[in-house]
């Protein structure tokens, strides 16, 4: 049993029995915006050329209350064949995260690497279902290494210190 004379006792850590350990938890996840366009139906179902997919991702995080953050995974997919556009899907899938006692310097790595990893399988299912419901074979997006992408972004920023950063991605 620890008392005030033993090194394990730290009043700053456990004040009045309160749990001061860092914690982040997923409170809710949801489709924030979903659009599926099938501009060339029904002709598109008869086209024979192989479709080309353009898949774009974007991640955003913002505070929405005290100790509450919304992380949104934006997925835009355009499928085109030689004859024209087969379909376009735009999905914004979000999660509401509660944060307690996490240092500010640890929030960005969580929100840009770990939170999207948690949300992605659910967003992937929404995309697959929407494409299938649009009359096409389900689109199963490849898994994404969000942590690796985050580390590449940090490395690129580190190499460019002292210079004006070049724009990344498309707006």
pLDDT in tens, 123-169: 999 999 999 999 999 999 999 999 888 888 888 887 765 443 443 33
Structural domain including 56 reads 23-150
pLDDT in tens, 77-123: 999 999 999 999 999 999 999 999 888 888 988 999 999 999 999 99
Please state, for a pLDDT cut of 70, what percent of the chain lies above it. 82
25: Cα separation from own chain's centroid: 15
B/e letters for 20-37, b = 16+ CB within 10 Å, e = fewer, are: eeeebeeeebeeeeeebe
Rounded to an integer, what distance in angstroms lies between the CA atom of residue 130 and that of residue 91?
Answer: 10
Residue 13 belongs to a domain: no
- What's 39's domain CATH number? 3.10.420.10
Lowest-confidence region among 13-17, 23-27, 106-110: 13-17
111 close to 150: Cβ distance less than 8 angstroms: no
Residue 1 belongs to a domain: no
Domain count, the chain: 1
Average pLDDT score, the chain: 85
Residue 166 belongs to a domain: no
Instruction: Give SS3 for 45.
Output: helix
Residue 136 belongs to a domain: yes
* Residue entry with tokens 């008392």: 3
Instruction: Give the total residue count for the chain.
Output: 171
Q: What is the pTM of this model?
A: 0.78
Residue 15 belongs to a domain: no
pLDDT of res. 17: 60
């Amino acid at each position: 049993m620890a008392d005030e004379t033993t090194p394990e006792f730290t009043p700053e850590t456990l004040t009045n029995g309160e749990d001061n350990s860092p914690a982040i938890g997923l409170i809710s996840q949801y489709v924030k915006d979903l659009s599926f366009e099938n501009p060339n139906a029904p002709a598109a179902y008869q086209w024979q050329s192989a479709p080309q997919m353009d898949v774009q991702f974007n991640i955003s995080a913002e505070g929405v209350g005290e100790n509450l953050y919304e992380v949104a995974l934006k997925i835009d997919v355009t499928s085109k064949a030689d004859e024209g556009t087969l379909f376009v899907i735009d999905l914004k899938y979000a999660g509401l995260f509660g944060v307690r006692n996490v240092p500010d310097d640890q929030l960005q790595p969580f929100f840009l690497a770990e939170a999207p990893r948690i949300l992605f399988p659910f967003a992937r299912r929404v995309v697959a279902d929407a494409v299938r419901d649009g009359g096409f074979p389900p689109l199963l997006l490849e898994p994404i290494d969000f942590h690796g992408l985050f580390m590449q972004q940090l490395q690129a920023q580190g190499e460019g210190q002292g210079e004006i950063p070049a724009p990344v991605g498309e707006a």
